[in-house]
Amino acid sequence: MILLLTAGLWLTGSCDFETTEIEEPMPENHKKDFAIALHGGAGVISRDIDPEVRDNYLSSLEEALTLGRDLLADGGSSLDAVEAVIRHMEDDDRFNAGRGAVFTSEEKHELDASIMSGFDLNAGAVTGVRTVKNPISLARKVMEESQHVMFAGDGAEQFADETNIERVANSYFSTERRREQLQQARDQAAVMLDHSGDSGLKGKRDRYSTVGVAALDRDGNLAAGTSTGGMTNKKPGRVGDSPVIAAGTYADNNSCAVSATGHGEKFIRNVVAYQICAIMEYQGLSLAEAARSVIHEKLDKGDGGIVAVDKQGNVTLEFSTAGMFRGAADSDGLFEVAIWD
Ligand code: ASP
């Protein structure tokens, strides 16, 4: 907040005035008009990467963040911002969501997504979809045009047809970089979070992970969403935390909006996204304190991270992995993207 201070100075018998700008600290309960936080996944992201690859990472995070920030600045709803930014990332084949999703152990793609409105606790999710181009948009249709919260597999795809959501061949999601990753996972007989045990980033391969967004709009409504291809080499039918409301995604106007990324099984067992909001609401902790206690005390080191926005527009980006692709912007001029600490 800028305060204009006018001081009168007596100089050699004449009166001059000087105007100085000073920074006044924001009051603690200052509410931002809007705020947005996003992630492109967490994992063992090597610091030893080609500078060109690093710059590509940062500029594509900036691109997604600009899209969401501008939408909210223009008065768009938090739900629209969450859907638009996630769609954008689903269409970018470097993210593990939509095109570019990881492979299952059977060399197919099974996608998960969820979205939640903090205004009315309405939520929509899809899991195990194989032919839906933008799973986040189908999740929103589930929320707004069905009486249910989650659809799986064939039923979800049938619902996509009923609601005019675009479908594509499963091979549309396939990319060479994910095929290499499947091979690495098979060689190690592992189900892998992106970049885990991965030395590939030292080369020219740019590869992000799961995507998620949390946002507060000018009407004071919070929303969150998450979209993923899951973990590399996962068994067919495996469901992670991303489509599970309360684990991977949660939003409540009384507390906060959260999107998670990491080892889905751990996030489901610890009800991570909801637990952060509940700690805020019932224990009166700040968003940052609540997120820190869940990520560092309930989960184990290396499990993953979250991005979150509270009802005041405070943003928290917390992770226990070596890195998390992330960004945050708000109406006070914050605009930051980062990978490591
Ligand atoms: N949480 C996702 C899952 O377990 C993976 C990720 O965030 O990268 O499916």
Look at residues 241, 198, 259, 238 and name the one whose alpha carbon lies nearest to residue 109. Answer: 238
Q: Kindly report, residue by residue over 279-309, the tens digit of the pLDDT.
A: 999 999 999 999 999 999 999 999 999 999 9
DSSP secondary-structure letter at 169? -
In which band, very low, low, confident or very high, does the pLDDT at 76 lie, cut at 50, 70 and 90? very high
Residue in the block written with tokens 């700690």: 279
Q: Is 73 domain-assigned?
A: yes
Ligand 1 atom, smallest distance to 193 CA: 8
Helix (H) or strand (E) holding 221: none
pLDDT of 95-151, one tens digit each? Answer: 999 999 999 999 999 999 999 999 999 999 999 999 999 999 999 999 999 999 999
Q: Which atom of ligand 1 is nearest to the CA of 265?
A: 4
Does 157 map to a domain?
yes
Residue 71 has pLDDT above 60, yes or no: yes
Q: How much of the chain is helix, strand and coil, in % rounded to 5?
A: 30, 30, 40
Which DSSP state fits 30?
P
Dihedral (Cα; 283, 286, 291, 292), 10-degree rounding: -100
26 belongs to a structural domain: no
Q: In this structure, what CATH number is given to the domain that contains residue 335? A: 3.60.20.30
Share of the chain above pLDDT 70, in %: 88
Which position among 210, 228, 232, 249 bears the catalytic label? 210
pLDDT at 191: 84
Question: pLDDT at position 333, please?
Answer: 97
8 located within any domain: no
CB distance 242 to ligand 1 below 6 Å: yes
Q: Is 261 a catalytic residue?
A: no
Question: Does 25 fall in a domain?
Answer: no
Measured distance CA(206)–CA(181) in Å, rounded: 12
231-266 pLDDT, tens digit per residue, is 999 999 999 999 999 999 999 999 999 999 999 999
Residue 277: inside a domain: yes
**In which domain, by residue range, is 277 found?**
32-340
* Single-letter code of the amino acid located at 319: F
In a domain, 2, yes or no: no
Q: Assess if residue 113 is contained within a domain.
A: yes
Ligand 1: centre distance to CA 228 (Å): 7
In this prediction, residue 238 carries a pLDDT of 97
pTM reported for the whole predicted model: 0.90
What is the total count of domains within the chain? 1
Q: Where are the alpha helices (DSSP H) in 169-294?
A: 176-187, 264-269, 272-283, 287-293
Contact 65, 335 (CB under 8 A): yes
